[in-house]
Structure 1
Amino acid sequence: MIRVLLAEDMHMIRAALTALLRLEPDIEVAGEVTRGDEIVPAALRLRPDVAIVDIDLPVLDGITAAASLRAELPSCRILVLTALGRPGQVRRALEAGIQAFLVKDAPGERLADAVRRTAAGLRVLDPELVASALQYGESPLTPRETTVLREAARGSSAEDISARLHLSAGTVRNYLTSAITKTGARNKIDAIRIAEDAGWL
């Protein structure tokens, strides 16, 4: 029996995935979580064979959570769910050592097969997804520019970011301007979109 931990914040999607997996005689849904920071504690408690992790989770993103899970419980294999339109995130996941991906709009029958292959330690890679992921290069942003842009993506003002990072508001604005220039964006919102799509945030 393959024990699965499911990490998905969208209730309907999580319920559908659980229902699909419960149809399989050799797969058991051992637990479900809705946030990235819940994955490692749940996995340490439940000891699943496979964790199915949505790439876009609240509190802690799926890639960061999956990397932590690999470190804390190496015996648990990770299958990442992703959208085809976010290839940069797949590149980040590949760099983090994750080798199993399932596109969210894949046919339902592929889910059980992907879980079995992941549990067996095999790669589950969509060639189109990997090819599009590799088109993005390394991030042109410095670590500080990345941090500031990530804070801006959460809706924080320059003043809020400056207080949180112990920088002057002018320095924060300079970092944002530099990030806009380096990403080739028109403005801050465009820079955030470009960086998120490329997996740089």
Structure 2
Amino acid sequence: MTDQQARELLKSSPQKAHRLIFDEYYNYVYTIVFNRLRSYASREDIDACVSDVFSDVFLHYSTDNGYSGDIKGFIAAIARNRSVDMFRKLRVRSVNTVPVDGEEALQLPSADKVDELAEKAETCHALLDAVKSLGEPDSYIIMQKYYYGRKSADIADKVGLKPEAVRKRLSRAMDKLKKILTDIGEGR
């Protein structure tokens, strides 16, 4: 189903358009959500997230909105965003809780957990500083590729390079980053 076909069907029969969009893109959305949440969420949470994606699609995709791109891209963006939201929600919910009379109460982390969290935060800051030290456009390319999950072609459009050049720069930047992190690790 193309974007134009979806918009035309949406004008004549919104319910039928929603059904066709759901039928055509359910597996696509489920794959995106599952791949982002599989190691962190239950099946019920993944199903709830997929439902939220289609709810957003049906609420925000209309014949008169300013969006003029491909419907598949629109759906993928919503699926990625909803997956991130669900991940954050689950992460907050999973912070050391214990049941109290059928309810969950927040438990203060132990000293070991605080040390572990502090070490993780320090490692994240060191990694981010190392990535920033690479300079532009290398740091931008690494962030877009590994933090946002963007493809080389998408990054290439943003930095004004060819996708092959982006991949080559990424490879070289990763080698530099590995050396920087090795030097940091030896300095400790």
TM-score, normalising length: structure 1: 0.29
* Structure with greater strand share of residues: 1
Structure showing greater Rg: 2
